[in-house]
Structure 1
Amino acid sequence: MEFGLTDNFLTTKMELFWLLVGIGIGAIATSACWVSWNYAKQRHKRKFRKRSHNGFKDRSIHSLKSWAENLHQNSRLERESSESIAPDDDEVESLLAKIVEVAPIGYIQVDQDNRLAICNERAATMMGIANHHHGLLRKPFLLQLIRSYELDHLVEKTRALSHSDQVDWVFHPAIPDPANPVPQIGRPIRAHSIYLGRGQVGIFLEDRQEAIAITQQRDRWTSDIAHELKTPLTSIRLVAETIESRVDASAKIWVERLLGEVERMTKLVQDLLEIGQMDVGIAPPLNLKGVKLSPLIQAVWSTLEPLANRKQVKLNHIGDTSLTWQLDESRIYRLLLNLFDNSIKHSPSLQSITIKTSVVDSTLHIETIDAGDGFPEESLPYIFDRFYQIDLSRTRSGLDRGGSGLGLAIVRQIVTLHHGAIDAKNHPETGGAWITISIPTQTNSVTNTL
């Protein structure tokens, strides 16, 4: 009995022990689960806080940058706005009036009725306007103060075409007192017009007296040099002709070349002298006769053929081979020689030079066209001026188109002697120089006056 109670007690203790063990294991498991869940929760919170903090930080940086950029841009716009505040109309008008008055060039302005609205002091002095007042409150008509057909025509042309124009002329002031006439000295003027809208025209006036004086001095110097060169050239020619028959056959070719160069220099000097004579109104006489142009063209080309062959440049003549015209043959020969020489020098290799001859309305037309660099647009008005040379940096080849600057000047002189006209431009197809010469019908009785 006692043994049975002991067994039951032991059994009960064992059951209680295992119950406590089970409760402990459950508690431990529960604690572990709670710890694990709590750790995961805290970790999630930390990640969330970190992500939120980083997001706020990025947004704050972005916002600060934008704010700073906007502040800088607004400050710049405000500064530029304050600096670019336009003055009112009165200030602009006053400023322009000051600029016009102190300008180193004459300026006048007329309204739609040809009344003189603006005239600065320099223009008044240049055009002989007495009692000049700032602003010209009366606004008289232009022709009341400046009696010049050229100036009036320039204003009308500018207004009609609505674009700028230019004219050169010699202005002769009106005699102030017809009862006591005093000779008035003409003043060379260059006027450049601008269209201002609403019928208003502005004109800049340039006094060309000093420039023309310099040109005349240069021309006199050229004429004096040409006179001085005649004597030594004549001496060189006489010496060369004397020794020509006394040298060996092998050296004779050099004497012949020397004589050729002396002849070329003599003709150049003669051309310079004739240009000088034409400047003072003395035209040398022409030796007119019927000249067949085709054989003359071929003769000139044969002279320059060695130069053309080096570049393999060919001549293309378009026109009636039997065409005959009253011309001074020796001068037309020099004219063609200068034109061909100029074209050959500035034509690319393996190209052709075209010369066209035709008769239209009793006028002979001679055109030469090459495939070279052509003329810069700004140089076209000065191509035929003496000693004018194109800026080498403006040409593709960098070659000297004008040489001494006399070739085309001599060409124009010869055309003028024949009472003709000459024009230079660039050909639309080849891009090269395109020179057109027009010579009217000539007779042996033509009087050469300028």
Structure 2
Amino acid sequence: MELFWLLVGIGIGAIATSACWVSWNYAKQRHKRKFRKRSHNGVKNRSIHSLKSWAENLHQNSRLEREPSESIAPDDDEVESLLAKIVEVAPIGYIQVDQDNRLAICNERAATMMGIANHHHGLLRKPFLLQLIRSYELDHLVEKTRSLNHSAQVDWVFHPAIPDPANPVPQIGRPIRAHSIYLGRGQVGIFLEDRQEAIAITQQRDRWTSDIAHELKTPLTSIRLVAETIESRVDASAKIWVERLLGEVERMTKLVQDLLEIGQMDVGIAPPLNLKEVELSPLIQAVWSTLEPLANRKQVKLNHIGDRSLTWQLDESRIYRLLLNLFDNSIKHSPSLQSITIKTSVVDSTLHIETIDAGDGFPEESLPYIFDRFYQIDLSRTRSGLDRGGSGLGLAIVRQIVTLHHGAIDAKNHPETGGAWITISIPTQTNSVTNTFTNTL
């Protein structure tokens, strides 16, 4: 019996041992399979990573190889060819002369304006500028630019040369504006602008303005007569309104007269000046008294610097209007609690008048057009942006009055206050001066 149970135990042990061996062997085989799969994936991943790294390195190396060739600047011939194409298709005329005043470049637009035929063939001979373009103004501009080594500008009417002196045909003048640039080594480039269309538009506008002024004279005269008639017949409480109406009619009448005089000056007709010895200090105070209510709103004061006994030969009514316009502009654009300075002096037999305020001054891009009629500065550039613009005639009328006195006027921004700085120069008036007139408008 004991032997039986011994055999049963040995059999169970053998079975258990076999089962353990089979399980262990199965687990071992499974582990090997997993290891081989993991190794395969690892090799595969490493291979992909290596391939990516190789591709990236190859791309980087190829880019480094390309960059030197891409950064190579084009040669001088390519640059010159490109500039020549740009100049030829430019919408503005351009010519260029060398140090000997020989024409080196002339585009199609410039050739058309200057009346140059077959300019491409003519440039091969490198002709002198005056051989193709007979213009003293243009030649003087080149010499001025070369001597000063900076840009200059000139406006003139160009008259082409008569092609056949034996059979002269009248040539139509063309208004031209030339702007020069110094290119170094004696070379000068000149941009040419055809001003014919702009001047035609300006002349049409001026004719329209003159026609309107003529049409306004009659109704203004009628309004004034009616106002003067009823002034003595209204109640005392309403009289102030009639007086205000007469003041506005008077202001409009003067404005219309100014427009008519500007129109006359455009065609070379100068209105006569009523010259006499004028004391400047009392005149300045009288003008300021007229505008004092407007100045008191901003608490703006007037500072007069100069000889209080200074007198000069002037047309008093016109100088009064000149100062009125200047002070009115200064007050409108001055901040509160500031002062407006006017300086009067005599240097080399010339009267100098300067007005300086503490406003925003003139935008740099507007300075060339400040004295053009109807020109108004963008209201967004003013200190508050709320000031209503005027007619655009104030400074144009100021220039007209200065021109009648054969003087000069200039506008800039004062370096200390930053405001408008207007300088006027009026020479000593003589009978010969007052009887002549040069149209500079």
Q: What is the TM-score with the length of structure 2 in the denominator?
A: 0.83
Q: Could you tell me how far 1:176 is from its partner in structure 2?
A: 1.7
Please list every run of 5 or more consecutive structure 2 residues that lacks an aligned counterpart in the other structure. none
Distance change (3 Å), C-alpha of 1:128 and 1:150: same
Asked whether the 8 Å contact 2:333–2:383 carries over to 1, the reply is no
Deviations 1:155-183 (A, max 9, x none): 12222222222211111111222222211
Distance 1:70 1:228 in 2: 85
Q: Could you tell me how far 1:99 is from its partner in structure 2?
A: 2.3
Asked whether the 8 Å contact 2:325–2:395 carries over to 1, the reply is yes
Q: Could you tell me how far 1:20 is from its partner in structure 2?
A: 35
Distance 1:393 1:281 in 2: 37
Asked whether the 8 Å contact 1:425–1:435 carries over to 2, the reply is yes
Deviations 1:103-151 (A, max 9, x none): 2221111111111111122211211113322572111100111111111
Percent identity of the aligned residues? 98
- Report which stretch shifted further, 88-97 or 200-209: 88-97
Q: Could you tell me how far 1:402 is from its partner in structure 2?
A: 5.7
Asked whether the 8 Å contact 2:97–2:188 carries over to 1, the reply is yes
Asked whether the 8 Å contact 2:287–2:323 carries over to 1, the reply is yes
Q: Could you tell me how far 1:218 is from its partner in structure 2?
A: 0.5
Distance 2:263 2:70 in 1: 60
Asked whether the 8 Å contact 2:103–2:127 carries over to 1, the reply is yes
Distance change (3 Å), C-alpha of 1:400 and 1:282: farther
Match of 1:315 among 282, 287, 302: 302
Q: Could you tell me how far 1:52 is from its partner in structure 2?
A: 19
Asked whether the 8 Å contact 1:389–1:401 carries over to 2, the reply is no
Distance change (3 Å), C-alpha of 1:402 and 1:82: farther
Q: Could you tell me how far 1:392 is from its partner in structure 2?
A: 2.6
Q: Could you tell me how far 1:59 is from its partner in structure 2?
A: 15
- Greater Rg by CA: 1
Distance 2:278 2:104 in 1: 59
Distance change (3 Å), C-alpha of 1:96 and 1:449: closer
Distance 1:115 1:275 in 2: 43
Asked whether the 8 Å contact 1:286–1:328 carries over to 2, the reply is yes
Asked whether the 8 Å contact 1:363–1:441 carries over to 2, the reply is yes
Distance change (3 Å), C-alpha of 1:323 and 1:64: farther
Distance 1:162 1:50 in 2: 83
What secondary structure does 2:120 align onto?
A: coil
Q: Quote the RMSD (CA, aligned, Å).
A: 5.1
Distance 2:382 2:50 in 1: 59
Distance 1:297 1:28 in 2: 134
Q: Could you tell me how far 1:393 is from its partner in structure 2?
A: 3.2
Distance 2:337 2:38 in 1: 79
Q: Could you tell me how far 1:186 is from its partner in structure 2?
A: 1.0
Match of 2:293 among 289, 301, 306: 306
Distance 1:64 1:351 in 2: 78
Distance 1:47 1:166 in 2: 90
Q: Could you tell me how far 1:391 is from its partner in structure 2?
A: 2.1
Q: Could you tell me how far 1:215 is from its partner in structure 2?
A: 0.4
Please list every run of 5 or more consecutive structure 1 residues that lacks an aligned counterpart in the other structure. 1-13
Distance 1:104 1:304 in 2: 49
Q: Could you tell me how far 1:354 is from its partner in structure 2?
A: 0.6
Distance change (3 Å), C-alpha of 1:76 and 1:422: farther
Distance 1:256 1:327 in 2: 30
Asked whether the 8 Å contact 1:119–1:135 carries over to 2, the reply is no
Equivalent pairs counted in the alignment come to 437
Distance 1:306 1:54 in 2: 96
Distance 2:60 2:122 in 1: 45
